[in-house]
């Protein structure tokens, strides 16, 4: 196996595959609350980068829904983290934030989308990943759209599966 690049060593705790331990909860003022399952993969090939794929499914029908993939980089000699993300909805984003202990707090800095993306368009995203003392990983996502201020959209916890 290739050694983890020291530039991303502070993110080693993310590496591997994570499965949600119970369905995540999705909500937003304009939609019907829903439940979903999700698998996260974080890997590396020795570059100063973590590669990731997030695949979400409908909790009951198991149909594939939301998918994201991308890269994580760290600014050398700082706790500054950047996520470079592509989503199957036609959205691409840069999120930046900080690593403090085993928590990542991220804000979107740049969003772009395909010309025929579904409306309403998302205008801002805030995300938190936290490795909890019980070894579970938690992700929460809030977003603002054309019509709604920053409000929670997703909350889910995962257990490491490999």
Tell me which residues touch ligand HEM (CB under 6 A): 26, 28, 30-31, 34, 36, 56, 65-66, 91, 120, 122, 125, 141, 143, 145, 153-154
Q: Residue 6 or residue 33: which is nearer to ligand HEM going by CB?
A: 33
Measured CA to CA, the distance from residue 93 to residue 142 in angstroms comes to 14
Provide the residue count of the chain: 162
Q: Which is nearer to ligand HEM, 35 or 48 (CB)?
A: 35
Question: Given the complex with ligand HEM, which of 99 and 125 has the nearer CB atom?
Answer: 125
Q: Which residue has the tokens 């998918």?
A: 67
- For the bound state, the minimum distance from the C-beta of residue 13 to ligand HEM, rounded and expressed in Å, comes to 21
CB of 78 to ligand HEM, least distance (A): 24
CA distances from 106 to 51, 72, 81, 123, 129 (A): 17, 12, 8, 15, 9
Peptide bond into 120 cis (omega under 30): yes
């Amino acid at each position: 196996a290739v050694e983890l690049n020291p530039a991303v060593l502070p993110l080693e705790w993310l590496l591997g595959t994570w499965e949600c331990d119970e369905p995540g909860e999705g909500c937003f003022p304009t939609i019907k609350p829903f439940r979903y399952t999700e698998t996260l993969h974080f890997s590396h090939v020795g570059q100063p980068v973590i590669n990731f794929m997030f695949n979400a499914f409908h909790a009951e029908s198991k149909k594939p829904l939301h998918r994201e993939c991308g890269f994580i980089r760290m600014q050398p000699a700082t706790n500054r983290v950047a996520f470079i993300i592509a989503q199957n909805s036609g959205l691409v984003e840069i999120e930046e934030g900080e690593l403090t202990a085993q928590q990542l707090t991220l804000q979107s800095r740049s969003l772009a989308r395909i010309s025929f993306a579904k409306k309403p368009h998302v205008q801002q995203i805030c995300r938190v990943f936290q490795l909890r003392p019980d070894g579970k990983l938690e992700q929460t996502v809030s977003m603002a759209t054309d019509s709604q201020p920053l409000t929670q959209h997703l909350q889910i916890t995962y257990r490491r599966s490999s």
